[in-house]
Amino acid sequence: MNTKRIFPAILLLFSVTAIGLGDEPVPGYNEHVAPLLTKYCAGCHNADDREGDFSLETYAELQKGGESGVAILPGDAASSRLIRLLTGAAEPKMPPEGEPAPTAAELSLLKAWIEAGAKGPDGAEPDRTLLRTPQLPAVTNVDPAITGLAWSPAAPIAAVARFGKVELISTKTADDSHEAVVEASSLLGDRKPIVVIGDLPGKVNAVEFSRHGTLLVTASGVAGLYGHAAIWNTIDGTLLREFKGHRDILYAATLQPNGSLLATAGYDRRIDLWDIETGELVRSLSGHNDAVYDLAFSPDGTVLASASGDHTVKLWHVETGERLDTLSQPLAEQYVVEFSPDGRSIVAGGADNRIRVWQFVSRTAPRINPLIHARFAHEGPIVQLAFSPDGRSLITLAEDRSAKQWETTGFTQVRAFPEQPDVAVSLAISNDGDRFLVGRMDGSLARYSIKTAIQDAVASQSNADATPLVTTPAADSMNAVEEQEPNDSSEQSQLLELPAIVRGVIQPLENQSHDADVYRFRAKAGEQWIAEIKAARDKSPLDSKLEILDADENRITRVMLQAVRDSYFTFRGKDSDTSDDFRVHNWQEMELNEYLYAAGEVVKLWLYPRGPDSGFKVYPGQGKRTNYFDTTAYAHALGAPCYIVRPVEPGQPLIPNGLPVFPIYYENDDDSLRRWGADSRLTFTAPADGEYLVRVTDVRGFGGDNYKYELTVRPRHPDFRVTLHGANPSVPAGAGRELRVTAERMDGYDGPIEVHIDGLPPGFHATSPIVIQSEQIEAFGAIYADADAVAPTADQAKSSQVTAHAMVDGQLLTKPVNNLGEIKLAAAAKLGVRIVADDISSPAEAASLSKPLELTIHPGETITARVLLDRLGHNGPVSFGKEDSGRNLPHGVFVDNIGLNGLLILPGQDERQIFITAAKWVPEQTRLFHLKTEVEGGVATLPVLLRVVNGE
């Protein structure tokens, strides 16, 4: 038996002293036997849960027996299988070990009934639920907990649900302003309810007004027994319709927007749809493996969402009952679900303390509804959430006694309301969207304002994310300076006239345990200066640390990093160098270009895990990882915590979200770009006009006469340098060879760079321009030879010109790039490869196309195309790489079906479909991409034009 489905009840107890075996009356089925079977057996052996194909819920079903035969032999209790299982004479013994079992007196009663012929009921069989409904004494002098709330859309009336009853109260107060929190004494006080709906079975878990406010739906029931839903007239509280059928307490009941259907769900895992006019069951929806805690209809009423203890949210087509999707990625029980008022998204929350937002796309047929936001919301399970009618605000409640408000463009928290005096489990928003009610377990009720919170908090949030004004200081010639000791403190600091280069040594003076060299300089607000150490590069043993402090040697906060998602390292720890295989818990909720903070280090996510045995790549996507905000790379142990963080300017207000906030100061151990080894480098933006200190130390506290360094403090000069790879190509006739361009970005320049290729021999073409996207360090193109191209002359072969162009601080810079060297024409390849649309069936058909393929993709979408092979002699496998198989796709767009062996076409196969997916944030753009084989010297396909387009 399932203990979760059997709850204590006050039952009639019987013994052989009350009902004897001799002249005493024979036990009656209705009075004596049915309660015992219900108490000990019907939890697992009923019409819905027929373990062993056996139900004891009615006398007729008991007589049928189960898969092992009949259960009772009238007149022969000792041979009856029911008695043998209950006494352990047959296997398996019932009830199972650990479950309540009949007493000896109760077994004697059952035996006596069977010996007397196992007679059935006289007349109608009683309602089993009535036999088991507990009659608990009323608790006095206590306000019953508020277990449900609803605010009428048509009048200033709220429905307040408690145990066994619902009260309709007026929401008007003496002070009906929208500015303050109005507590229970004002809302309830000594006023009498307008209407009281009483004698409801058990705790009322849900209440809901109809669209016009004339009807009220209630959901309640008795745990382990039955569920009860009803519709009431809100004018006088009369009962209009009851809905019975669930075998356990109901947690949810909601009306279809057009008022035709009622959906109910609860602990029995079943969702029922009822016809409101007739009260008949229309259909049941099954698929959840645990209790269903909440239901919500889409605004048009065609789709029903359900939130369950099985960690899922499911979507159902109302008319057919078809399951449209199981929404991905919750980590624990889901307690609440809502559609946005515009019907474009679905929001859910639960025991994993997060709110998740999915784009709603499966409206008429099964489709994947992409997750678009996941936010750590509270430090306790989320128990309620609700949209304002205009959809601009979302209110959430949690078990940690917190209530929060979120804007719904990016689902950013905009306000944390005062901590609740008791756990709040009920929530209702007014029809005008200006206020909401909170009901608590102590029976109190409070009202809060929404409008003021939105106006104030969104403004502060916008300011918090604002980019500060920065300027490049005017630079004169570099001043060369020698260190002058003592200079260990602000009082002894050595004044520098910037820009300057200082030659010094970290060497403790007599009676010093370590040395610190401190220099003073002046800067204006917004000026950006670069401070850098050259020591390790000159073979000095100094492992430098650089700090920029205020005039009193206090650390200066560079940025505040507020954690928005918690995680930890899984599978293995990380060393301080690598940029790939960052395996972190709950990675599915993380997005590319988000900052990941771990033990003082900040990196940025560059590529999603691309298979079951992989993790994130972080910037730059290859080689040693880049650190942001001049933080220093560290090793991280397995299980060590890490966080997704958002940067906030110092001094801006932070809205607490239950996760840590990490200050980042102007300090650096090792160059964050990882180019200079142990040498340090800092970018400093002066927060105000004034004097500042730059301090140089050895991070270990070491020193000596050979711990020499050069400190340079100079203006920031953003710049770039581009290198072309793949020179001297030998290009097969009718095919292509890949080209790669890489950028060295200097002083924080992170804008796009265009690389132009000109001067190619006749019959040769190249993708041009090749664009290195913002923040990226490489891009790919290809050089192609026509099928009828002729070998270039010596002069033509060396005539290519390559230049790089970029806008830097508003000025167009053009830089020369190494050219293609000597271009040669090679023999035709033994393999032809082309990317085509799904409706192209052969290489010949592909070759007849007059222009390259063009594809269109929307952010968050997956599209398909096909790769065709023309095997002209190569009959082996053809590999196009793994996570890098889509060459030159926009950042955030990738080939999605690479498999464990990458994008591969096996021997004997000549085609393969490819899936191309765009992350939800990818901006609009047009870009050429291709595939490159790993055979025939790396044949590149003809380019495909990919258009990323927002909107429909």
pTM: 0.75
Structure tokens at 458: 């969104």
Structure tokens at 388: 């304002």
Which positions ≥6 away from 326 have C-beta within 8 Å? 312, 313, 314, 315
Rounded Cα distance, 192 and 788, in Å: 94
In this structure, how many other beta carbons lie within 10 angstroms of the beta carbon of residue 364? Answer: 12
> Which residue ranges of the chain lie beneath pLDDT 50?
1-23, 130-134, 136, 138-140, 178-180, 184-186, 452-467
Structure tokens at 72: 């009772």
Rounded Cα distance, 682 and 672, in Å: 9
| Beta strand pairing call for 730-732 and 824-826 | parallel
Contact 594/644 with Cβ under 8 angstroms? yes
Q: What is the pLDDT of residue 55?
A: 78
Please tell me the chain's helix, strand, coil percentages from 3-state DSSP, rounded to the nearest 5.
Answer: 10, 40, 50
Sign of the alpha-carbon dihedral angle for 376, 377, 380, 381: negative
DSSP classification of residue 538: G
Give the residue from 295, 223, 215 showing the smallest Cα distance to 253.
295
Structure tokens at 891: 């950042």
**Which H/E stretch holds residue 713?**
strand 708-715
Which positions ≥6 away from 518 have C-beta within 8 Å? 487, 488, 489, 490, 492, 493, 494, 553, 693, 694, 695, 696
Structure tokens at 198: 């009483």
Structure tokens at 681: 């480098």
Helices (H), 409-538: 451-464
**Nearest-5° Cα angle at 617, 612 to 620:** 160
Residue at token pair 């009921």: 121
The 10 Å CB-count burial string (b at 16+, else e) for 648-671 is bbeeeeebebbbeebebbbbbbbb
- The partner residues of 275 in beta bridges, in order of sequence, read 261
What DSSP string describes 192-237? Answer: PPSEEE---SSB--EEEE-TTSSEEEEEEEETTTEEEEEEEETTT-
Specify burial of residue 398 (Cβ count, 10 A radius: 0-12, 13-18, 19+).
buried
Contact 260/282 with Cβ under 8 angstroms? no
Structure tokens at 309: 């203890």
Q: What is the pLDDT of residues 195-213, one digit of tens each?
A: 999 989 999 999 999 999 9
DSSP classification of residue 66: B
Residue at token pair 């790089």: 804
What DSSP string describes 914-937? Answer: EEEEE-TTPPSEEEEEB-B-SSTT
Residue at token pair 């464990």: 900
Give the residue from 303, 305, 285 showing the smallest Cα distance to 293.
305
CA 347 from centre of chain: 11
Q: What is the pLDDT of residue 188?
A: 54
Q: CA 771 → CA 735, 759, 908, 923, distances in Å? A: 22, 19, 37, 15
Q: What is the pLDDT of residues 460-475, one digit of tens each?
A: 444 444 445 566 676 6
Rounded Cα distance, 316 and 295, in Å: 11
Rounded Cα distance, 952 and 937, in Å: 41
Rounded Cα distance, 298 and 305, in Å: 8
Length of the chain: 952
Q: What is the pLDDT of residue 77?
A: 76
Q: Where are the beta strands (DSSP E) in 270-423?
A: 271-275, 281-285, 292-297, 303-308, 313-317, 323-327, 334-339, 345-350, 354-359, 371-376, 382-387, 393-398, 403-407, 412-416
Rounded Cα distance, 443 and 461, in Å: 34
Amino acid at 760: L
